């Protein structure tokens, strides 16, 4: 069962309760991070068994000074600060007191109900996914920490479903050729997938519409599939913000041959706040090798493959298509450890035990604040 984490400020009480999102096993704070926050003057409270699915039991928290409690509504009502992995639900926000602060992945552009509830309740909200991608915010970059783990796990998932090994193997009975892996997208997840697939011995080919990623791909041992960009490709802060249907069609034409020769295809392409771009239409799936595998990492936002299904593994035209709902949550221990460090670093940038700094023109604060004292300031 999923979990959410709560945080109280000024002798700050930190509380964790169960997350509402299905398939979630991560927690926002680990015992080690709670210990650090308590030393900084914050006070931590935890709902009974809140860390269980991330392999942190109540004893691990109480040992460092966390208080275990049971009632979710009471925790919410008392909280000055609420820390979570996933966006708060309108029902959770309704239990919070006016003037409290929420910090989590918010995905504000696709969560209007959450924004309206936050404004109505008179709280403030910081979105972890909106933290600017600048050098001094690297330790707060939860998108990257979680994507890194997801990229690793996607290769392991693909290897599990593939009916052959990855490396070249020479035996007395003959030689086994290495598996061919095609990775679509060379962001954080894609680069980790390249490194993992290469370590397992596969031949790796990579497609990305950002030409600057070519050097990174080749440094990891991958072969870059070049697709010349056009004016429709919009890049902001290292993310693709927009691309035309015409360009996507051209990209599909260039890489379809590589996909059809692949044993494993991993797709990682996302556009923040929008439906994931369609990279593998059904016609391409029909022409893929019998027994090949697709791991669609973008399935939560509609998917990069026309045949993928959310939270399901399906077989179509002889191809296994994996649509895992929450890949970072499949590694809950490591994912929670990294996220807890990200979000605690972010919190300590924004506040001390005595209150929030509210440095409204400071770049990280300005970029991540989406609701301030009941007023929506950013989508």
Q: Which long-range contacts (CB under 8 A, 24 or more apart) does 92-100 make?
A: 92/4, 92/20, 93/117, 93/118, 93/121, 93/123, 94/121, 96/121, 96/123, 98/122, 98/123, 98/374, 99/123, 99/124, 99/373, 100/124
* C-alpha torsion sign, points 110, 113, 114, 120: positive
Say which of 4, 36, 144, 216 is annotated catalytic.
Answer: 144
pLDDT tens string 167-186: 999 999 999 999 999 999 99
∠ CA 130-150-370 to the nearest 5 degrees? 15
- pLDDT higher than threshold 60 for residue 232: no
pTM: 0.92
Q: Which of 58, 210, 239, 317 is catalytic?
A: 239
CATH class of 4-130+333-376: alpha beta
Q: Count how many residues are written for the chain.
A: 379
- The residue annotated as part of the active site, out of 133, 199, 210, 256, is 133
pLDDT at residue 247, rounded to an integer: 76
Active site residue 36: no
Architecture field, domain 147-329: 3-Layer(aba) Sandwich (3.40)
- Indicate the pLDDT class of residue 9, thresholds 50, 70 and 90: very low
Q: What is the DSSP string of 44-83?
A: EEEETTTTGGGT--HHHHHTTTPEEE--HHHHHHH-SEEE
Contact criterion met (CB below 8 Å) for 279 and 304: yes
Among 141, 208, 263, 296, the active-site one is 141
Q: What pLDDT is recorded for position 378?
A: 83
Listed residue (274, 269, 272, 271) closest to 294, CA to CA:
269
Known catalytic membership, residue 26: no
Name the catalytic one among 39, 73, 138, 244.
138
Give the pLDDT band (50/70/90) at residue 3.
Answer: very low
Dist CA 376 CA 369 (whole Å): 9
Q: State pLDDT tens for residues 11-61.
A: 556 565 667 788 999 999 999 999 999 999 998 888 888 899 999 999 999
Is 239 among the catalytic positions? yes
* Catalytic site includes residue 232: no
Q: Do domains 4-130+333-376 and 147-329 have the same CATH topology?
A: yes
The reply to whether 256 belongs to the active site is no
Diameter of the chain measured on Cα atoms: 73
Domain parsing of the chain, residue ranges: 4-130+333-376, 147-329
């Amino acid at each position: 069962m999923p979990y959410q984490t709560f945080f109280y400020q000024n002798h700050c009480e930190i509380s964790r309760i169960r997350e509402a999102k299905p398939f979630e096993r991560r927690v926002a704070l680990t015992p080690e991070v709670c210990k650090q926050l308590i030393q900084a003057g914050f006070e931590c409270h935890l709902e009974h068994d809140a860390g269980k699915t991330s392999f942190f039991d109540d004893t691990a928290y109480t040992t460092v000074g966390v208080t275990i409690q049971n009632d979710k509504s009471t925790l919410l009502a008392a909280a000055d600060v609420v820390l979570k992995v996933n966006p708060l639900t309108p029902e959770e926000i309704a239990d919070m007191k006016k003037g409290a602060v929420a910090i989590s992945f918010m995905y504000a552009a696709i969560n209007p109900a959450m924004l309206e509830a936050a404004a109505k309740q008179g709280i403030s909200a910081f979105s972890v996914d909106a933290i600017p991608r600048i050098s001094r915010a690297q330790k707060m970059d939860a998108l990257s920490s979680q994507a890194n783990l997801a990229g690793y796990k996607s290769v392991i998932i693909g290897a599990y479903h593939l009916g052959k090994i990855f490396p070249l193997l020479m035996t007395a009975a003959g030689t086994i050729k290495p598996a061919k892996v095609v990775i679509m997208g060379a962001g954080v997840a894609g680069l980790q997938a390249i490194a993992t697939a290469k370590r397992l011995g596969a031949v790796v080919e990579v497609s990305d519409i950002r030409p600057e990623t070519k050097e990174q791909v080749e440094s990891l041992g991958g072969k870059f599939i070049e697709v010349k960009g056009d004016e429709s490709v919009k890049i902001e802060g290292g993310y693709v913000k927009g691309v035309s249907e015409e360009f996507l069609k051209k990209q599909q034409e260039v890489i379809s041959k590589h996909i059809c020769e692949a044993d494993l295809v991993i797709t990682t392409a996302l556009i923040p706040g929008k439906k994931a771009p369609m990279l593998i239409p059904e016609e391409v799936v029909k022409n893929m090798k019998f027994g090949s595998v697709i791991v669609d990492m973008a399935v939560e936002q509609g998917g990069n493959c026309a045949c993928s299904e959310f939270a399901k593994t399906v077989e179509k035209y002889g191809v296994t298509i994996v649509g895992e709902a929450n890949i970072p949550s499949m590694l809950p221990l490591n994912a929670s450890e990294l996220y807890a460090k990200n979000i605690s670093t972010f919190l300590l940038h924004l506040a001390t035990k005595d209150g929030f700094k509210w440095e409204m023109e400071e770049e990280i604060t300005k970029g991540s604040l989406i609701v301030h004292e009941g007023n929506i300031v950013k989508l």
